[in-house]
A and B are shown apart, each in its own frame.
Chain A
Amino acid sequence: NAGVMQNPRHLVRRRGQEARLRCSPMKGHSHVYWYRQLPEEGLKFMVYLQKENIIDESGMPKERFSAEFPKEGPSILRIQQVVRGDSAAYFCASSPEVAAQETQYFGPGTRLLVL
């Protein structure tokens, strides 16, 4: 049973370009979460999605960032017109249900570097 998969593992972009980060949840998991980890910090919640629905995007910057989880295919986190401050590790997690006791299983992360 494959774990959460993310690609690419490393992504380099120049300022002003777009970054697309992909996440395939664990088999049987319909809940996907995106987190951002800035250097020397813990993970910060960005967005929670179910298939075709954004449930909670309270942690997502209002501009340039968007997320989707289509009916078919992986979840995508899109960052438009990247800036140096977007450089971070972006983690995707998934869970089968949403409850206090449900563990979120994390992917290996995508390290974004903006030059």
Chain B
Amino acid sequence: AQKITQTQPGMFVQEKEAVTLDCTYDTSDPSYGLFWYKQPSSGEMIFLIYQGSYDQQNATEGRYSLNFQKARKSANLVISASQLGDSAMYFCAMREGPGYQKVTFGIGTKLQVIP
């Protein structure tokens, strides 16, 4: 089974609108971390937001928020007030035990913001 599933290969959003990028995960470890990274066309991987499995509140970082639904094993990224610079690939990722040394990535969603 896929550890991280991103079912949207591509998404379009109008500038200034909000967009939700889907991510579901699979783990039997009670302690895990969920991450979202942005990869613009220049290629670097930029950390956006983190959610811990024991966190009670949904994580927020500026215009990014993570809609964490533990029972459904989903960790959707919400970008509010989209900007042209948000056009990029977005990867959902998970870090789980034992060891927590490796991060497993989804295949990504390509987001294009339309002016």
A residues within 8 Å of B by Cβ?
31, 33, 35, 41-45, 48, 55-56, 58-59, 89, 91, 93, 98-109, 111
Contacts and interface: CB of A to CB of B under 8 A. Distances in A.
Contact of A98 (B37, B101, B107): B101
B99 A106 contact: no
Contacts, number: 75
Contact of B95 (A44, A100, A105): A100
Contacts of A42: 4, 91, 105-108
Contacts of B32: 100
Interface stretch (B12-20, B43-51, B69-77): B43-51
Please classify how large the interface on chain B is, using the bins under 10, 10 to 19, 20 to 34, 35 or more.
20 to 34
Nearest to B94: A100
A20 B103 CA distance: 23
Interface string B1-29: 00010000000000000000000000000
Contact of A103 (B44, B47, B53, B108): B47
